[in-house]
Amino acid sequence: MGPLSGLLVADFSRILAGPYATMLLADLGAQVIKVEGPAGDDTRTWMPPVRDDVSTYYLGINRNKRSIALDLKNPADLDVAQRLAARADVMIENFRPGGLRRFALDYDTVAAGNAKIVYASISGFGTGAGANYPGYDLMVQAVSGLMSLTGDPDGSPYRAGISVFDVMAGLHASIGILAALHHRDATGSGQHVEVNLLSSALSGLVNHSSAYVAGGTVPFRMGNAHPSLFPYEPLPTADGELIVIAGNDGQFRKLCQVLDLPELPDDPRFGRNQDRTANREALRPLLVERLAKRTKDEWFRELLAAGVPCAPINTIDGGVALAEELGLDPVVESGGVPGVRNPITFSGTPAGYELPPPGLDEHGEEIRAWLTKD
């Protein structure tokens, strides 16, 4: 039994941010009913890659849910949707702001009949002047400033390799839902939780957004370099690049001991982090010269043993293999479908993986019967 057992979540979201949030809740024991239109969640068609002719994109964010297909323009289906919302502890949706009002599934209408509902809305740009902007992660990567920070200094801006702000907004939605449930437990009252991708982006840009907001500095693209730390980037070895990090002066001293450069920490240009950062162009070739004498794997093991953060640059298979090697058990199965395990570990109420990602309307008959029997 997961920590959220007994919680009913009506999931009217689709694509990524909402489904990722509800999968995390489902892993922790919540009963999630995935409401899809007659054509199904868009990600069902986002392929390749596939597993057994099903999109792996869809599979990656929809386990532990039950699916019902409802056409909200059909009165009978709309009645089922409204009954579900009336029973739910949590409802989550990512329609355009106001889009569910015509179906009487907006927060005010649902809450009028279900005062304890925690109703979460995810949008691209909020409910004000940006309400009609389509909420695509790539748009937000562009307008938030993330792409201006990603790529070579003299090259074009790049998107992140994943839909990072969709995932971040899903996490923020999950946090908001859990906080609102705690408030409900204390007061008996539900509430409306709102998350938008642009606000999640600006929060998630952390030191970069703070550099501007608190310091008046507009960060710029630095490739793989860090604006405030050095070394904190890939450096070449005898057979390829290795991420090398000195997050503080002690780590830099250890790095220099392993590289047999004991004089560098006492050099006034390199002794403190701010000095190393200011003089990175003088320091980098000294480190590269020593790193070139051995392979990245040799340095990886030796530097880690000395307490210096470093890492090879893996492909995804290498990342999964390392997690397996470290005993993190990254792969789980739900109904025979492999996926990445929920990242949270509980000592008493672990995550569960009972249901595979559902087929479209796989549980529709069962859910209709349950909702209409009273």
Among 255, 248, 244, 308, which Cα is nearest to 272's? 248
Work out the angle at residue 71's Cα, subtended by the Cα atoms of residues 122 and 195, and round it to the nearest 5 degrees. Answer: 5
Residue 3 tokens read as 């920590």
Residue 195: CB partners within 8 Å, gap ≥ 6?
17, 120, 121, 122, 123, 169, 172, 173, 176
Instruction: Please give the domain boundaries of the chain with CATH numbers for all domains.
Output: 8-205+330-372 (3.40.50.10540), 232-322 (3.30.1540.10)
Residue 153 tokens read as 């200094």
Q: What are the DSSP calls for 280-320, one per residue?
A: HHHHHHHHHHHHTTS-HHHHHHHHHHTT--EEE---HHHHH
User: Does 374 have pLDDT greater than 90?
Assistant: no
**Rounded average pLDDT over 324-328:** 97
Give the containing element (helix H, strand E) for 297.
helix 296-305
User: Does 368 have pLDDT greater than 90?
Assistant: yes
pLDDT in tens, 131-140: 999 999 999 9
**Rounded average pLDDT over 82-103:** 97
* H-helix segments, 197-238: 197-204, 206-213
Strand spans (E) along 79-172:
90-93, 118-123
pLDDT in tens, 205-234: 999 999 999 999 999 999 999 999 999 999
Residue 327 tokens read as 């005993």
For residues 52 and 62, give the distance between their C-alpha atoms in angstroms, rounded to a whole number: 16
Confidence band, pLDDT 50/70/90 cuts, at residue 372? confident
User: Does 201 have pLDDT greater than 80?
Assistant: yes
Residue 28 tokens read as 């922790």
For residues 308 and 302, give the distance between their C-alpha atoms in angstroms, rounded to a whole number: 9
Rg of the chain taking only CA atoms, in angstroms = 25
**Around Cβ 135, how many Cβ atoms within 10 Å?**
23
Question: Looking at residue 352, what is its pLDDT?
Answer: 96
Confidence band, pLDDT 50/70/90 cuts, at residue 1? confident
Full-model pTM:
0.94
Question: Looking at residue 99, what is its pLDDT?
Answer: 95
pLDDT in tens, 344-359: 999 999 999 999 999 9
User: Does 18 have pLDDT greater than 90?
Assistant: yes
Distances (CA, A) of 103 to 8, 200, 368: 21, 28, 18
pLDDT in tens, 133-177: 999 999 999 999 999 999 999 999 999 999 999 999 999 999 999
For residues 325 and 330, give the distance between their C-alpha atoms in angstroms, rounded to a whole number: 10
Contact 17, 166 (CB under 8 A): yes
Question: Looking at residue 373, what is its pLDDT?
Answer: 79
Distances (CA, A) of 36 to 72, 348, 349: 10, 34, 30
- The per-residue pLDDT of the chain, averaged, comes to 97
List active site positions: 166
By DSSP bridging, strand 8-12 and strand 65-69 are unpaired
The phi, psi pair for 18, rounded to 5°, reads -65, -50
Confidence band, pLDDT 50/70/90 cuts, at residue 39? very high
pLDDT > 70: percent of the chain: 100
Looking up tokens 């796989």 gives 362
